Amino acid sequence: MNMDDPNMDDRMKTPDKSREQEIDRWLDDALSQYSKVDPRDGLEGRVLARLAEARREPTRKLHWWGALAFTTAAILAIALLWHAHTESMQFRETPAAKVVAPAATESRADNQQNLDASVLAKRTSVNHTSNNRPLTVAQHKANRGIPANTMQQAAPPKLEQFPSTHHLSQEEWSLVRYLNEQSDKEALLKATATPSEVDLSIDSLEIRPLEIPDIEISESQTN
Amino acid sequence: MTAHFVIAEQAIATAQPTKAESLLEFAVREHSRLVYRIAYSVLRDPADAEDAVQEVFLRVLRYGNKAARIKDWKAWLARIAWRVAVERRDKVTQSSARHEQTTDDLPGPGSGADRVLLERERAEVLQRLIAALPARLRDPLVLATIDELSPREVATVLGISEAAVRSRAFRARQILRERLTTPGDRK
């Protein structure tokens, strides 16, 4: 091999160049084919079908939510009706409540005797000390501590809330004041007596002996 | 064909928001192949690529009437497809063992089995080499292999300049060439 040959470099480089060119070609081909892949037939149809299905899903969800909302509303309505029905039944079972519930009716005065004075005084005093606010559950429980005999005597009527949340009327307040001064049952009865009751006082009956006139029997009749 | 494409692009650009649904169907017909190729270039699995295509168009559907305001649907869809594919690639660990050979992959009767096998081997070698590239060089090169995308559109998808796309793709190609010429790096 003659190393001084000037064409030697070219001859040695030629295989390298041709190899490089071959690699370049190979790389170009490979890169051009790298992403040249076609999808399976019917891709567009499958995508469109999936989109159509996805469009229907919100409607389905809406139906589901509607059914759920309707069921919940129905359950609530039934619960409310049941509660109202139960309340009305309880109210009917306790006729005494009718007596106390109306604030200022004449029938209340007639039945006022059913209420024990001490219980009424207790109720009013509790209301007075709590700035006429309705009693809490705790206060109700505390009120249970009053002597049993008074409770039995009073036989408190069943109300939705007892004592009533209504403010006391003018007449009731006057009664309370009076009771605070003299908590006497007779005084209470006297105070609560209506004019009609006062007028109803009947004088004692006077039964006079029967006067029988003397019967004169004539002699002729006797014969 | 070109005239039809131009008319279609104009139709998309000038469509009213109320026609969002028909626009979407039109976009599916026109660009589903491009979306598939982008997804396939990242995922390298036909089934995964098709799933990605479905997801891309479902995302577009969720845009609703806002999609009608998009001017360049091709670039927009390409960007979504790229994101979806990359997200999927990050989730799923792609392995060659997972890829089952189907009848579609087998060479046909008159296609020349040797040539098909040679091409498959070449594709596998190239895939290994590309996967070994750093991401900043790999992404422009992979997108540049898709014929439908111009360098400008690749730049839009990747959010870099067109010059950066060109230079990175060139640099990636140089690295591949070096590894192919060096026998030790080829495996």
User: What's the confidence (pLDDT) of residue B76?
Assistant: 92
Higher-confidence residue: A60 or B16?
A60
Same domain, residue pair A140 and A189: yes
Same domain, residue pair A108 and A137: yes
User: What pTM was estimated for this model as a whole?
Assistant: 0.51
Output DSSP code: residue A124.
H
Q: Cβ B61–A43 below 8 Å, yes or no?
A: no
DSSP H/E element including B11: helix B2-14
Give a yes or no: residue A18 inside a domain: no
User: What's the confidence (pLDDT) of residue A216?
Assistant: 67
Q: Which among B46, B146, B177 is the nearest to A23, CB-wise? A: B177
Same domain, residue pair A112 and A187: yes
- Between A65-69, A153-157, A185-189, B177-181, the lowest mean confidence (pLDDT) is in A153-157
Q: Whose CA is closest to A100, among A164, A154, A144?
A: A164
Q: Cβ A43–B53 below 8 Å, yes or no?
A: yes
Same domain, residue pair A89 and A131: no
Q: Whose CA is closest to B77, among B63, B89, B90?
A: B63
Structural domain total, chain A: 2
Same domain, residue pair A82 and A111: no
Same domain, residue pair A147 and A173: yes
Same domain, residue pair A87 and A131: no
User: What's the confidence (pLDDT) of residue A109?
Assistant: 46
Contact (CB, 8 A) for B170 and B124: no
Categorize the per-residue pLDDT at A98 as very low, low, confident or very high, splitting at 50, 70 and 90. Answer: very low
Residue of B nearest to A46 (CA): B54
DSSP alpha helix (H) spans, chain A? 8-34, 43-93, 96-100, 106-111, 117-129, 137-143, 148-154, 170-181, 185-192, 195-199, 219-222
Is the ipTM above a cut-off of 0.85? no
For the stretch A150-174, pLDDT in tens is 545 555 556 666 666 777 888 888 8
Categorize the per-residue pLDDT at A11 as very low, low, confident or very high, splitting at 50, 70 and 90. Answer: low
Residues of A with CB under 8 A from a CB of B: 19-20, 23-24, 26-27, 29-40, 43-44, 46-48, 50-51, 54-55
Same domain, residue pair A76 and A157: no
Tally A–B CB contacts below 8 A: 93
B86 lies within 8 A of chain A by CB: no
Same domain, residue pair A68 and A138: no
Q: Which among A30, A36, A47 is the nearest to B54, CB-wise? A: A47
B177 lies within 8 A of chain A by CB: yes
Q: Cβ B33–A37 below 8 Å, yes or no?
A: no
Question: Domain residues for A51?
Answer: 46-93
Which of A93, A127, A154 is at the close of a domain?
A93
Give a yes or no: residue A52 inside a domain: yes
User: What's the confidence (pLDDT) of residue B103?
Assistant: 42
Give a yes or no: residue A184 inside a domain: yes
Coil, helix or strand at residue B146: coil
Categorize the per-residue pLDDT at A179 as very low, low, confident or very high, splitting at 50, 70 and 90. Answer: confident
Degrees to nearest 5, angle at CA A78 with A74 and A82: 170
User: What's the confidence (pLDDT) of residue A170?
Assistant: 85
Give a yes or no: residue A84 inside a domain: yes
Give a yes or no: residue A29 inside a domain: no
User: What's the confidence (pLDDT) of residue A92?
Assistant: 67
Asked whether the CA dihedral A126, A128, A130, A134 is positive or negative, the reply is: positive
First vs last C-alpha separation in chain B: 43
Name every chain B residue with its beta carbon within 8 A of the beta carbon of A20.
177, 181
Domain annotation for chain B: domains and CATH numbers = 1-92 (1.10.1740.10), 113-182 (1.10.10.10)
User: What's the confidence (pLDDT) of residue A105?
Assistant: 47
User: What's the confidence (pLDDT) of residue B175?
Assistant: 92
Higher-confidence residue: A212 or A154?
A212
DSSP alpha helix (H) spans, B73-161? 73-91, 113-131, 135-144, 151-158
Same domain, residue pair A111 and A186: yes
Which of A27, A61, A93 is at the close of a domain?
A93
Give a yes or no: residue A16 inside a domain: no
Contact (CB, 8 A) for A53 and B145: no
Report which listed range, A119-128, A211-220, B49-58, is most confident. Answer: B49-58
Q: A147-153: long-range contacts (C-beta < 8 A, 24 or more apart)?
A: A150/A116, A150/A118, A150/A119, A150/A122, A151/A119, A153/A116, A153/A118, A153/A119
Separation CA A173–CA A124 (nearest Å): 8
Same domain, residue pair A73 and A104: no
Give a yes or no: residue A79 inside a domain: yes
What is the residue-level pLDDT of chain B in tens, covering all 187 positions?
344 444 444 444 444 434 555 788 888 998 999 999 999 999 988 999 999 999 999 999 888 778 778 888 899 999 999 999 999 988 875 554 444 444 444 455 555 777 778 777 877 888 888 989 999 999 999 999 898 899 999 999 999 999 999 999 999 999 998 888 875 544 4
Give the amino acid at B169: A
B129 lies within 8 A of chain A by CB: no
- Is the pLDDT score of A79 beyond 90? yes
Give a yes or no: residue A109 inside a domain: yes
Higher-confidence residue: B165 or A214?
B165
Higher-confidence residue: A118 or B66?
B66
Separation CA B121–CA B111 (nearest Å): 16
Residue of A nearest to B127 (CA): A34
User: What's the confidence (pLDDT) of residue A157?
Assistant: 59
Higher-confidence residue: A181 or A131?
A181
Name every chain B residue with its beta carbon within 8 A of the beta carbon of A18.
none
